[in-house]
């Protein structure tokens, strides 16, 4: 049975992560061991298959060939498992970016954004979980630390780097939410919408009529890339207003690893 503690912090919150004990991986009596990592891996695969709404501890136990009691030795609830499903996803992103050596801050930000988007596209059922929780587990912290450190290494102040990361992350998640919605318009719906725009009264909606194709014919990949570039251009403008020298912030230069701190 799930453990019920009305005073326990909500799963995924800072208080929950701080209070979470280290869980030894011990086999239960009469059953083979089910490692913590194996349970999270199986839970992630199950979420990919059935979504978070249909996910249950019973389904997960059946997938692992064990009983729910084994799961409750590791997790107090399905909500706790969802926290680790999200963190596993971010740990995967962190692992893929470990060897990337960006030549510019925009390269660093764009690479992280595209990797994040690709992961969410492969795991669409995880996207709703990112709306309900801020990823602050080890995987989430690793991704956040890596991109903020990269931006600081290219001359950003820590404050501006943090705001840039948050803005980009919100854009990627928001785009994924829209793309993964069950009623997201496809090419046929987009074509019909463009045709509708062109039938509007040009006297009342001259710019909508003129821009009908631009509003409806761009692929989701191009739309994402263009929107991301708009954000990067805006961040570059904010960086200029903060008095950062765009030409002197790479690794080894002012503000870069191994170089003197930037002003």
According to the model, what pLDDT value does residue 8 have? Answer: 81
Give the span between the Cα atoms of 205 and 58, in whole angstroms. 55
Q: What percent of the chain has pLDDT over 70?
A: 84
Quick one: how far is CA 154 from the chain centroid?
23
| Average pLDDT, rounded, for the chain | 86
Lowest mean pLDDT among 11-25, 208-222, 229-243: 11-25
Does residue 210 carry a pLDDT above 50? yes
- Give residue 251's pLDDT: 45
198-204 contacts, C-beta under 8 A, 24 or more apart:
none
Q: What is the pLDDT of residue 247?
A: 44
Please state the rounded mean pLDDT for residues 104-125: 95
pLDDT, position 2: 56
What's the Rg (C-alpha) of the chain?
23
pLDDT at 25: 45
Q: Which residues contact 64 (CB under 8 A, 6 or more apart)?
A: 34, 38, 39, 42, 70, 71
């Amino acid at each position: 049975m799930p453990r019920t503690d009305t005073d326990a912090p909500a799963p995924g919150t800072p208080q929950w992560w701080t209070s979470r004990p280290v869980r030894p991986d011990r086999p239960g009596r009469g059953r083979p061991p089910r490692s913590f990592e194996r349970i999270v891996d199986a839970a992630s695969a199950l979420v990919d298959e059935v979504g978070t709404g249909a996910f249950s501890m019973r389904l997960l136990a059946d997938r692992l060939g064990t009983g729910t009691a084994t799961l409750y030795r590791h997790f107090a609830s399905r909500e706790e498992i969802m926290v680790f499903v999200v963190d596993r996803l971010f740990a995967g992103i962190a692992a893929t970016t470990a060897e990337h050596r960006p030549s510019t801050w925009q390269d660093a930000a764009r690479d992280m954004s595209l990797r994040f988007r690709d992961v969410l596209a492969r795991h669409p059922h995880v996207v709703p979980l990112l709306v309900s929780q801020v990823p602050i587990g080890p995987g989430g912290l690793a991704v956040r630390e890596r991109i903020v450190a990269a931006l600081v290494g290219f001359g950003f102040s820590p404050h501006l780097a943090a705001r840039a990361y948050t803005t980009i992350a919100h854009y990627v998640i928001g785009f994924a939410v829209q793309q993964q919605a069950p009623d997201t318009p496809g090419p046929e719906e987009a074509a019909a919408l463009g045709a509708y725009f062109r039938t509007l009264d040009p006297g009342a909606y001259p710019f909508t009529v003129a821009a009908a194709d631009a509003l409806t014919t761009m692929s989701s990949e191009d739309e994402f890339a263009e929107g991301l570039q708009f954000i990067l251009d805006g961040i570059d403008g904010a960086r200029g207003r903060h008095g950062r020298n765009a030409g002197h912030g790479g690794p080894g230069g002012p503000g870069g690893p191994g170089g003197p701190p930037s002003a």
